[in-house]
Structure formats: structure tokens, C-alpha cells
Structure 1
Amino acid sequence: METRRRRVPALAPEERRAALVAATIPLLHEHGVDVSTRQIAQAAGVAEGTIFGVFETKTELVVCSVVKALDPQPTLEALRAIDRGLPLRERLARAAELVHARFAENAQLMAAARKLVIAARDEATVKQMTVNRESLRRALAEVIEPDAERLRRPPEAVATLLLMFCGANTYGPFGDPAHLDGAETVSLMLDGLLTRGAQ
């Protein structure tokens, strides 16, 4: 007796969107935002037309995927896990390593993300990216807060400065990364460039 093959149930639209985004993110790291819908469909194991059943355009899919790829939650959780009882330098060095790792992993996407979001004129996405950036700054400020009285600037300002240093460490002011580790980044922030005893 012939056994009839059971039909695999179709995914709900939100599940399909999530699956397509998940398949797109590794391709963005490999090919950048010029990844094709054919490549995405192959990676997701679907027909190319399936993409346009849940996304109006390729740009919409790429923007959603970039935003998901830049989700700061893993970094936020790692920052919150830093022991507040550690000395300030050690806390900041660990925080700098985490932020630099995030920037380095997503360096190819960050500049493209700004261009894509502006081109798409997606106010909700712009707002989400702003919220993500502010969440990262707040999490850094919380790492700094226990030593607020020792610093000339408030924790939020120090957090902003650390983000600037990490950004320069990743991209470099002239396009060349500086390759400073967390401890050296923090030393530059806290001690400057003069040697001890120099006037």
C-alpha cells in the first residue's frame, strides 16, 4: 500500500520573516548589503518568490536583518555581568573589550546600516537604532557608576568617550584600525599620553 507523504505545514508570516532574517544575517557579514535575493532564498531553503510574500522589497528584508544583526542585547548582558566590585580600570578594560568586539564583528554593517535606513526612510528603524545606541551607553555608564566621584566627568560622559575610543580603535581616524586592547584604551582615557612624572 502506497504511503501518502505528509505535507509540511507552512510557516506563519512572522515565523517566515524571522527565518528569512536569520538566513540573511550570515550573508550580510559575508557579502555586505549587496547580497542577492537568490542567495537569501538558497540559504533559507525557499523559493525566491517566498521572500516577497512576507517582505515588500529586498531593501525591507535587508534593513530588518541589519537591525537584528546589530541587536545590542548580548553585549548589554555581558556588560551587566561585569563584577562591580572590581577596580575601575579592570571594569573599564573588560567593558572596552566587549564594545570593541561588538564593533569589530559588525564593522562592515554599521556604515551600510546608516545608508540603508536613510534610503528606506524608515522612522521606526531609525528610532530603534537610536534606542540601541542609548542602551549601550547607559549600560557602560552603569559599569562606571561605582567610581563616579573619582572622575572629572559624569559616568554618561565617560561612557560616551569610551564608545568614541572603541569606535576609533575599530575604524581608525584614517581608515586604519588602531588595535589597542582594553587596558591600553582605558589607560589613554584615564592617564592620557604623558609618562609618569612628565609635566
Structure 2
Amino acid sequence: MAPEERREALIAATIPLLHAHGTDVSTRQIASAAGVAEGTIFGVFESKSQLVVCSLVKALDPQPTLDALAAIDRGAGLRQRVAEAAEIVHNRFIDGAHLMHAARRLFFETAPDADAQQRIVDSRRQMHEAVVEIFEADVSLLRIPPDQAGRLLLLHCGANAFGPFGDPEEFRGTDLATLLLDGILIKDDKRGDRTTC
């Protein structure tokens, strides 16, 4: 197996172990999952830490999420587009929540890595831009700029995935679309808002 292929195979074997064990995964576990001798790891990576960093970067690659957001039908109504975007973003956050936490701790605190930190920053920017695009076609319908609307969607999905008051099992993209687009006040066509603030 060529060195680059072996590198990719070790990363592929490590990612499920990171989901299961976090960054405490051992090189013995990785070698067993990859079907190689433990020493093989160090013929490809300088250290276990380097393998873990490369695996976290690969596992948190935003491209599949960006592709899914780009595939949302731009001809669909705003409400449908927002609901679909919310589901996609929320699923990403839920699927990678513990890896995102581990990456932040590792890249910023335990073993600061400027390149990995920049990847996280770039990933956040790309996600925000992709979500903003969902709102941009209907900017004339919005009371706030698409940039702010995108941040609110990401904020809610993040809080639901990571926060103490989140309820990932009950999350529905349609509910978030309703919250973002309609608010929480009951509307009355004849009298305006039923509630005075």
C-alpha cells in the first residue's frame, strides 16, 4: 500500500474510534481497527497526536454539509428552504458534537495547532455563508439581513445540540423555520398582535 493510501486508511480507521472513545483512543485500538501492526502508525505519522489531529480534521470536514446545503432546491419557498437547511445543520452538529468539543479542546488548549485552528475558523465561515445563501433570494421578505438570519439559524441549532436546554430528539426543521420566520406571538389579522409588549 502506498504511503498516502496507508495514511488515509489509518485516518478512516481512527474516525469511528474517536466517536466511540474520544481523543483517549489508543494506538493499539487504531492498529487493530486498521488491521496493521501498531508500529505501522509511526511509520506514517510522527505521533498518535498527529494522527488524532488529522482524523479530527477529516471527520469535521464541512464539505458534505456544504454540498447538502447547496443541493437544497432554490426554487422551493423560503420556509421549506429554511426547514431543510435547519435539519442539515442540526444533524451535522448532533453527529459531530463530541468531536467538535474534542477538537476545540485539543486544537486550542491541550496542543495548540494554528493550522487546525484556522480550519475550524474557515469551516465556521463556510457554514455561515452557505446558510446565508438560503435566505438571500428572499431578502425583500426579511426584517433582518440574511447574514443575521443565518447566524440565528446556526445559533439555535448549535444551542440545541450543545446547550443544557437542548432537546435534539424533539428538533424539527419546520419548527425552527416557523420560529425564525414568524416569531412566537399569535397574530390576529384584525387586531394585529393579540399580546401587547
Using the size of structure 1 for normalisation, the TM-score is: 0.89
Indicate the residue corresponding to 1:181 in structure 2.
Answer: 172
Counterparts in 2 of 1:33 and 1:170: CA distance versus 1, 3 Å:
same
Write out per-residue CA displacement over residues 138-167 of structure 1, whole angstroms, 9 at most, x where no aligned residue.
111111110112112221221111100101
Aligned to 1:162: 153
Per the alignment, residue 139 of structure 2 pairs with 148
The match for 2:70 is 80
Deviations 1:88-119 (A, max 9, x none): 11100000000011111111111111011122
**Identity within the alignment, %:** 56
Which of these residues, 32, 37, 42, is aligned with residue 22 of structure 2? 32
Q: Quick one: which of 100, 107, 122 aligns to 1:117?
A: 107
Give the corresponding residue for 1:105. Answer: 95
Tell me, what secondary structure is at the counterpart of 1:164?
helix
Which 4+ residue blocks in structure 1 deviate beyond 4 angstroms?
A: none
| Gap regions ≥5 residues in structure 2 | 189-193
Mapping 1:57-76, distance limit 5 Å: 57-76=47-66
Looking at structure 2, the residues matched to 177 and 111 of structure 1 have their Cα atoms a distance apart, in angstroms, of 18
RMSD: 1.4
Could you tell me how far apart the structure 1 residues matched to 2:39 and 2:128 are? 40
Counterpart of 1:138 in structure 2 is: 129
Q: CA shift at 1:134, angstroms?
A: 0.9
Gaps (5+ residues) in structure 1? Answer: 1-10
Answering whether residue 5 of structure 2 is matched by residue 15 of structure 1, we say yes
Corresponding letter in the other structure for 2:52? V
> Aligned residue for 1:91?
81
